[in-house]
Amino acid sequence: MPIGAKVWAIAEGYIPRDNFAERDRRFVSHETACLLNCGDADAEVRLTLYFSDREPVGPYRFKLPARRTLHLRFNDLNDPHPVPRETDFASVIESDQPIVVQHTRLDSRREALALLSTLAYAGS
Amino acid sequence: MPIGAKVWAIAEGYIPRDNFAERDRRFVSHETACLLNCGDADAEVRLTLYFSDREPVGPYRFKLPARRTLHLRFNDLNDPHPVPRETDFASVIESDQPIVVQHTRLDSRREALALLSTLAYAGS
Amino acid sequence: MPIGAKVWAIAEGYIPRDNFAERDRRFVSHETACLLNCGDADAEVRLTLYFSDREPVGPYRFKLPARRTLHLRFNDLNDPHPVPRETDFASVIESDQPIVVQHTRLDSRREALALLSTLAYAGS
Amino acid sequence: MPIGAKVWAIAEGYIPRDNFAERDRRFVSHETACLLNCGDADAEVRLTLYFSDREPVGPYRFKLPARRTLHLRFNDLNDPHPVPRETDFASVIESDQPIVVQHTRLDSRREALALLSTLAYAGS
């Protein structure tokens, strides 16, 4: 049974400057879009980035197979462009199948970790 | 009065490796699905786990009595399988009665605690 | 213009044991329901607590005036009963006027603060 | 394609007293409303603040251009009035075009950072 929506928006986005002293990928500050495709059809997903002072960038394209989740780090996006660090952004995620999207950030700029998470906004 | 939905999805899930040095259950890193059944009928609940690289696992079955809440730690799931640590997952929760689901994580990998929480996604 | 819903649910709730060493109210661990009444009519609000192993407690009653917000600490509820510490709970909030409800927790059990927040679930 | 709603509410708001020892803007405690306008028309946005013990203040007015995001710090609001520190508030955001709103707080009152975030409530 497919659950979710085909258009999602995340109004918040911010990746601190890469911390090269942190060698453990688990603890590098990151922004993540957690995607879930519960359905039985593979989904083609397109992600577009929005900024405060320039035109949108994208789409970034990837496949989300049937009955799979993908925790996509914005830090890892490279094609067509890496996500600029220390820059406010937002994102829109479009899929040809219903999916569910949750937004999470881990901030390790200081020794203590900080976390945030929220459901993304499901468009019509 | 029943409040809620019968299908919920949580796209985010991740349990750090068990920290055997931490003996206080309250402070062990955990992922929780907080379930609330405000209605007057007991609910039969089924939880299914989704992964990035393998078929879904479940259902995990449990009862949520009328007028009760259950804060279910994913760490404690064992039947049919424990939840793998340090592995991205997502979950779908189905109930035969309307319920409300909220997702929470406590991360104690470092001395300072980090918390996140969000309402889960209510399917139709 | 009234914004919101008349029934809200928060499936998560947990107040650590009172930390008597912490004398600054701002930093005492607390759970909060943030209520907003944007409308022009005062709202009568009723809050009911749900537990894992006993019948619900309440209602707790209070007034939310027109065009006002109230950040209600569960720690401060006393009539008909204080909220038990170190106990999982959930809550349902009913209002005779549309309101908006957001759930927040500050955890100061360790030196570092941890925060979580989510929109509550708007019932029909 | 426009995504979102024209009325949003954030029931939670609280800015700690300004920390003059903290000179790095990134780490000053702040409350943010992240706004996204995915559409092709510029949006006129009005923000109103609500309090527990006085009449609402506003509107604060600003423009959100087409295809842009704006991460608006409540700390920076000054016209018609700065946001009082250490005071509970809430906010309503109205736009003449559909937008998406997410609420985030960074708390740096102690050495460790704490973060929270949630989707705002989309009014009808």
**pLDDT tens-digit series, residues B105-117:** 998 888 888 899 9
Q: Are B36 and B100 in contact (CB under 8 A)?
A: yes
Distance between CA atoms of residues C30 and C47, nearest Å: 17
Chains that touch A (3 or more CB pairs under 8 A): B, C, D
Distance between CA atoms of residues C100 and D10, nearest Å: 8
Count of residues in chain D: 124
D115 vs C contacts (CB less than 8 Å): 115
Burial D14-29 (b: 16+ CB within 10 A, else e): bbbeeeeeeeeeeebb
Q: What is the mean pLDDT of chain D?
A: 93
Nearest to B55 among A67, A69, A113 (CB): A67
Structure confidence by residue, pLDDT tens digits, A39-95:
999 999 999 999 999 999 999 999 999 999 999 999 999 999 999 999 999 999 999
Q: What percent of chain A has pLDDT over 90?
A: 78
pTM for this structure?
A: 0.95
**pLDDT band at C17; cut points 50, 70, 90:** confident
Chains that touch B (3 or more CB pairs under 8 A): A, C, D
A112 vs C contacts (CB less than 8 Å): 112
CA distance B48 to chain A (A): 10
Q: What is the pLDDT of residue D65?
A: 98
Structure confidence by residue, pLDDT tens digits, C45-60:
999 999 999 999 999 9
Instruction: Record the tokens describing residue C50, joined without a space.
Output: 């749900």
The gap between the terminal CA atoms of chain B, to the nearest Å, is: 19
Nearest to C69 among D52, D55, D124 (CB): D52
CA dihedral A28, A30, A36, A37 (to 10 degrees): -90
Structure confidence by residue, pLDDT tens digits, D38-60:
999 999 999 999 999 999 999 99
Distance between CA atoms of residues D77 and D65, nearest Å: 19
DSSP D18: P
